[in-house]
Amino acid sequence: MDLQLTGKTALVTGASRGIGLEITRALAAEGVRVAAGARTVTPELAALPGVTAITADLATPAGAAALVDQAAAALGEFDVLVNNVGGVVPASMRAAGFLDIDDESWQRTFELNLFGTVRVTRGALPSLLRRRGVIINISSIGARAAFPPVDYGTAKAALTNLSKALAEEFGGRGVRALTVSPGPTRTRNWSDPGGYAGDLARAEGADLDRFLAEVPARMGITTGRLTEPAETAALVTFLASPLAGNLNGADYLADGGVLKTV
């Protein structure tokens, strides 16, 4: 299938590893010129042909502005914006529950998962409007269900709402906005002993490999396995394509069946 993406341009945030790296790889493989933002440039990102890696801290207003400026300088205009940056901040990862999450953690979580995306989107929208482009926000199943930590799920719920609002406000002017909501995905958050799963495994006194083997059953992943980052990237790439040109405002789960509600 020709996704008709050759020669288009994309800005991807949180692109140095995990899902963002795979989205960058998949778009570049379709002939898209990609500007890829993160605080660090990993060897895997630097090795991708046709990709301009840009360092910026998206948890700050200045970082978001600098990323959009440098990406515009590299690409000219934006056809695709993938707001992938996000995650659970360390203090919230360790929190026992709502009462254990202080103002600073809430603030950091919202900077990382919502405000960075608000700022990058505001900066890129004039160009996306000129190009009748597409915005894809990477949210989480935590936006739709009460998985801890609560600050993360709340920020992702706001992000999902943002996509819908953008779809409504700009859809009539040719800009589509969509959400992709991953469930447990095999990135360092799960596979690295220092990540989210490693912390949970340690708290239970369990070995990480054994803990991971039990995750599908414990989380109700119907397929029996975690999602691979490249699988989510393939979905994002299709949604970015003109072939998906009348898909707007929808939220696509990429969770192996964790969420049971329709």
> Which residue numbers are catalytic?
152
The minimum distance between CB 166 and ligand NAP, in angstroms, equals 17
214-218 contacts at long range (C-beta below 8 A, 24 or more positions apart): 215/184, 215/190, 216/256
Closer Cβ to ligand NAP, 149 or 184, answer by number: 184
Residues within the interface to ligand NAP (CB under 6 A): 14-20, 38-40, 57-59, 84-87, 112, 138, 140, 182, 184-185, 187-190
Rg (CA), the chain: 18
Closer Cβ to ligand NAP, 108 or 131, answer by number: 108
The sheet carrying 51-55 orders its strands as 51-55, 33-38, 9-13, 80-83, 134-138, 176-182, 251-254
The minimum distance between CB 51 and ligand NAP, in angstroms, equals 13
Closer Cβ to ligand NAP, 16 or 127, answer by number: 16
The minimum distance between CB 170 and ligand NAP, in angstroms, equals 22
The minimum distance between CB 88 and ligand NAP, in angstroms, equals 7
At 83, the amino acid letter reads N
Closer Cβ to ligand NAP, 14 or 133, answer by number: 14
Which residues does 110 contact at the CB level (< 8 Å), separation at least 6? 151, 155, 158
Q: Which residues pair with 251 in a beta bridge?
A: 179
Q: Which residue is nearest to ligand NAP (CB)?
A: 18
DSSP state of 226: P
